[in-house]
Chains A and B, each alone.
Chain A
Amino acid sequence: MKKDATVLEENGEEAKKQASKFSIAYLSERLDDFFGQVDTFTRFTLRFFKEAFMPPYEVNEFLKQCYLVGNKSLPLVGLTALIMGLVFTMQSRPTLTKFGAQSWLPAMVAIAMIREISPVITALICAGKVGSGIGAELASMRVTEQIDAMEVSGNRPFKYLVVTRVMAITLMVPLLAIFSDSISLLGSFIGVNLQGDTTAKLFLSHIFEKLDFIDVFPAIIKTFFFGFAIGIISCYKGYNSNSGTEGVGRAANTSVVQASLTIFIIDMLAVQVANFFT
């Protein structure tokens, strides 16, 4: 008898849980959760700006992080850029030939690469390689109490860990994007030469005839924002991770997903802003 009663009760609980997924209470709970996240993220970002400008500066750690970011992503960024430049050239050739605009090929590829493809691809690669690494690293430092240990020894872990990493990525993504631009042009040059014969000089003069300041400048500016987004999101996820070992994997994963999404959103806004000024 008694057993049945408890079973019934449990079923009732279960049903309540099911129903509650669609209830207003559940919705408001999720909204609370969401705005709570927004709130802590905003505080985290503000704290970054506050501590970034306050001495002492962690120059050595900053340089080390710059080196690590570059070292981790340089080969992958280079290889991807080379292939993208090559493939994009080969894909565009038939269409341009059809319209008799074959001489436009180098410039068109260069503009597409520099304005859009290269910055976004570079940022996505960095989000995947560096962002996930930072998310996991800081989360595991949190779980194993290393961040607490820094704090109780009177050192400032936020400055040492977060500020240096965010600044390093913010600086390195633009540099990597410029590197990627150049390599993709090399890829395009190879692509152009696969059918036909163009000297490097002619290839470059074709490009620089058509390439404008407005093609290059906004594209580089936006990569700073890409870098900052990757850094601040992955540091936030890692630094505030608080749920044991599984949190480490989750921090790495959500860092990549949210950073990538943010990169596309920034990209979309950047187009609007750039168009506004032209």
Chain B
Amino acid sequence: MGTAAAEKSSPEGDIITIDHLKKSFGGHEVLKDISLKLAKGENLVIMGKSGTGKSVLIKCIVRLIEPDAGEIKILGKDVLKLNADELNDVRKKIGFLFQSAALYDSMTVRENLEFPLREVRKKNEEIEQMVEEALKNVGLLDVIDKMPSELSGGMRKRIGLARTLILRPEVILYDEPNTGLDPITTREISKLIVELKDKYQTSSIIITHDSECARITANRIMIINEGLCVAEGTYEELEKSEDEFVSSFFTKQD
């Protein structure tokens, strides 16, 4: 294992490094050449038009989609070279909030939250406690016995977030956590993301179209267009950008 030394030396450094990632579907090049780094304790916001491959990018990180070329390292592990069991171990350290929340329709909220814990050997009371704490974190303890179909869009997203948090991930990937929600819920979720980061010292990648969400959550912003990274910087830097495309993400459309 030549990488053992490298694995040890990185814990304080970057949590995720992506190098020259490429992915096409058929003839359609979605990701042309993407490289990025996520530092420990950092919130990286990724912005870009619909259909530019933002979801594809973070799905590649957890290998829900196999990239064509490039390298992805998470917590020092070369994700693309792992076998199924090793990959599962890495995945347990990563939380993934889906654009659609992806709650399990046939299960209650409680069962949804218990599901990721099935392979964790713990006593029932302990699991009960973890479920309740996760729900408290998102302020939805009272819906514990409801079915997902009884919840509003914002509640579903928050339950999805609670389910993501229950394994205490070191990294969280948010796919449009506040698309399709009203402005107030949007702001609540953005604040929740920051709170959770402070509480559990997680590092996150957040995909969003919403400039306010970016303002609240981002330590750093990356803008992707046509499969390439076109701008990178803090909110203040990018907001003032001369580039028309970049600044278009930050102008309020009324």
Report A's interface with B, CB cutoff 8 A.
56, 137, 140-141, 144-146, 148-156
Q: Specify which chain B residues have a CB less than 8 angstroms from the CB of A144 in the assembled complex.
A: 100, 102, 105
Q: Specify which chain B residues have a CB less than 8 angstroms from the CB of A151 in the assembled complex.
A: 64, 91
Q: How far is the CA of A156 from the CA of B62 in the complex (A)?
A: 14
Q: Is the CB of B96 within 8 A of A152?
A: yes
A153: contacting residue among B89, B92, B99, B103, CB under 8 A? B92
Q: How far is the CA of A141 from the CA of B102 in the complex (A)?
A: 8
Question: Which of chain B's residues has its CB closest to A154's CB?
Answer: B92
Q: Is the CB of A148 within 8 A of B64?
A: yes
- The verdict on B250 contacting chain A, using a C-beta distance below 8 Å, is no
- The verdict on B167 contacting chain A, using a C-beta distance below 8 Å, is yes
Q: How far is the CA of A109 from the CA of B7 in the complex (A)?
A: 73
Report B's interface with A, CB cutoff 8 A.
59, 62, 64, 88-89, 91-92, 94, 96, 98-100, 102-106, 115-116, 118-119, 163, 167
Q: Is the CB of B98 within 8 A of A155?
A: no
Q: Could you list 23 examples of A-B contacts with CB < 8 Å?
A: A56-B119, A144-B105, A146-B103, A146-B104, A146-B105, A148-B59, A148-B98, A149-B98, A149-B104, A149-B163, A150-B104, A150-B115, A152-B62, A152-B64, A152-B96, A153-B92, A153-B115, A153-B167, A154-B88, A154-B116, A154-B119, A155-B118, A156-B88
B94: contacting residue among A146, A148, A150, A152, CB under 8 A? A152
Dominant secondary structure of chain A at its interface with chain B:
helix
Q: Is the CB of A152 within 8 A of B91?
A: yes
Q: Is the CB of B104 within 8 A of A155?
A: no
Q: Is the CB of B116 within 8 A of A145?
A: no
Q: Is the CB of A155 within 8 A of B105?
A: no
In angstroms, how far is the closest chain B Cβ from the Cβ of A54? 11
In angstroms, how far is the closest chain A Cβ from the Cβ of B225? 25
Known: A153-B91, A154-B88, A154-B89. A148 touches B102 (CB 8 A): yes
Q: Specify which chain A residues have a CB less than 8 angstroms from the CB of B88 in the assembled complex.
A: 154, 156
Q: How far is the CA of A229 from the CA of B115 in the complex (A)?
A: 29
Q: Specify which chain A residues have a CB less than 8 angstroms from the CB of B64 in the assembled complex.
A: 148, 151-152
Q: Specify which chain A residues have a CB less than 8 angstroms from the CB of B62 in the assembled complex.
A: 152
Q: Is the CB of A154 within 8 A of B91?
A: yes
Q: Specify which chain A residues have a CB less than 8 angstroms from the CB of B59 in the assembled complex.
A: 148
Q: How far is the CA of A152 from the CA of B164 in the complex (A)?
A: 10
Q: Is the CB of A153 within 8 A of B116?
A: yes
